[in-house]
Chains A and B, each alone.
Chain A
């Protein structure tokens, strides 16, 4: 396993870059980070619609969230791969296809996290913000969301872990992320699949385990802060 890393580490980390597109582990991380950042506003809008008093907003968005959450991500990826070129008129590359699928999928999951986060803020906060003269959207933006998002930080880190794992599905549409690169290394070596895929598993493990520990630490820290507001 060590020799494999010694030979292929650069390829494993950045793919063919700079002679080709960025790939490998860097692409996995870039894709996951970008997907989460873009999915966050989507999730906020969907969550606000799901909490809206207007049925016209609430019902369709609830249906969309249920449909996306009841469908495998792979299905969303296939739809994106198949429909995006039909809709936009020009072909979409694998990176943007995967990014679109992840933003839709994560947006629906984040919507539920954010909805719970907003519902966790005492109702008095909205009422006092409104009575101070804020309109609904400003009260949401300036009073509710900053508190809700802060409480949700550990969940967001965990969602980042899920997103890193989800990027592996880019493999299916030949996106050169780390699973795909591992498979290419395996094809070149031919005789050592157990080591190559163990290495792949270890890579994901180190990333995701450390991130989820960080989420755990954050959760405890925030809980401690909430228990002793003065120590924040």
Chain B
């Protein structure tokens, strides 16, 4: 191996591949975050609902997803799930970016399952008298949740949600197994096209680390400005 060739990373075709991969990774993470957060909130509320059936739905969702590796989710949603769709829907899907769609579905479900557990423990840390008092004042379960419990619980949930976002960011790399042209995929493409593995992996590692450390920094900042107060 020759010496480290920085020019490969600064301009040219390989540089463009890596940068486009980086951009796609960020896009994947952002789209997933935007869809996963409300879904996680819904699942967390389901798990604390007064009806046993709803609670069971929440438990099954979380356990079924968390106990299977993300890679297996990706394989299922890419290779398996589209096959059982009716023919016209399948054709419609294959005309579009089926790789990215499958990756987003897998990432959303996986992230939402983890985030819902964080939100749930945030909600559970609010003394249960708060719910009782709100109900006694005439709020419905959902009204009390939305106006009394969640505003307090979500503030406590921010730090674990930030660390789940870090996991999400790292998990986007697994989308390469189904051929989504994100950062890890492009790094490998550059490696196999140019045999400059050291440079391309260094770029990818640096890019992953930059965002990861920024997320860690955001967590430290939040911790500094909103220290945990005992209820």
Tell me which of A169, A194, A201 contacts B174 (CB under 8 A): A169
Q: Known contacts being A74-B176, A74-B184, A209-B63, is A193 close to B79, with CB within 8 Å?
A: yes
Minimum distance in angstroms from A59 CB to a CB of chain B: 16
A79 at the interface (CB under 8 A from B): yes
A168 touches B166 (CB 8 A): no
A194 touches B1 (CB 8 A): no
B81 touches A194 (CB 8 A): yes
Query: Scoring B residues 56 to 87 as 1 if CB is less than 8 Å from chain A, else 0, what string do you get?
Result: 00000001101111111101100111011000
A169 touches B212 (CB 8 A): no
- Residues in A with CB closer than 8 Å to B73 are 201
Number of interface residues of A (CB under 8 A): 40
Instruction: State A212–B213 Cα separation when bound (angstroms).
Output: 30
Query: Scoring B residues 188 to 200 as 1 if CB is less than 8 Å from chain A, else 0, what string do you get?
Result: 1001000001100
B72 touches A72 (CB 8 A): no
B28 at the interface (CB under 8 A from A): no
Mark out the residues of chain A between 169 and 223 whose CB falls within 8 Å of any chain B CB in the assembled complex.
169, 171-172, 179, 182-183, 186, 192-198, 200-201, 204-205, 207-209, 212
Q: Known contacts being A78-B201, A200-B72, A209-B67, is A71 close to B176, with CB within 8 Å?
A: no
Tell me which of B67, B171, B208 contacts A205 (CB under 8 A): B67
Minimum distance in angstroms from B99 CB to a CB of chain A: 15
Instruction: State A197–B94 Cα separation when bound (angstroms).
Output: 19
Instruction: State A169–B71 Cα separation when bound (angstroms).
Output: 7
A75 touches B208 (CB 8 A): yes
Q: Known contacts being A75-B173, A194-B80, A197-B76, is A70 close to B208, with CB within 8 Å?
A: yes
A204 touches B69 (CB 8 A): yes
- Residues in A with CB closer than 8 Å to B1 are 86
Minimum distance in angstroms from A29 CB to a CB of chain B: 14
A66 at the interface (CB under 8 A from B): yes
Q: Which A residue's beta carbon lies closest to that of B213?
A: A70
- Residues in B with CB closer than 8 Å to A116 are none
Since A71-B212, A197-B79 are in contact, a sample of 19 more A-B pairs with Cβ atoms closer than 8 Å, ordered by chain A residue number, is A70-B212, A71-B170, A71-B205, A72-B171, A75-B173, A78-B187, A82-B191, A82-B201, A166-B69, A179-B75, A186-B79, A194-B81, A194-B84, A196-B80, A197-B72, A197-B75, A200-B75, A204-B72, A205-B64
- Residues on A lying within 8 angstroms of B by beta carbon are 66-67, 69-75, 78-79, 82, 86, 161, 164-166, 168-169, 171-172, 179, 182-183, 186, 192-198, 200-201, 204-205, 207-209, 212
4 closest residue pairs by CB, A with B:
A70-B212, A194-B80, A208-B67, A165-B69
Listed A/B pairs (27) with beta-carbon separation below 8 Å: A66-B213, A66-B216, A70-B170, A70-B208, A70-B212, A71-B170, A71-B209, A72-B170, A72-B171, A73-B170, A74-B176, A75-B173, A78-B201, A79-B205, A82-B201, A179-B72, A183-B75, A192-B83, A194-B76, A194-B81, A197-B75, A200-B75, A201-B72, A204-B72, A205-B64, A208-B66, A212-B67
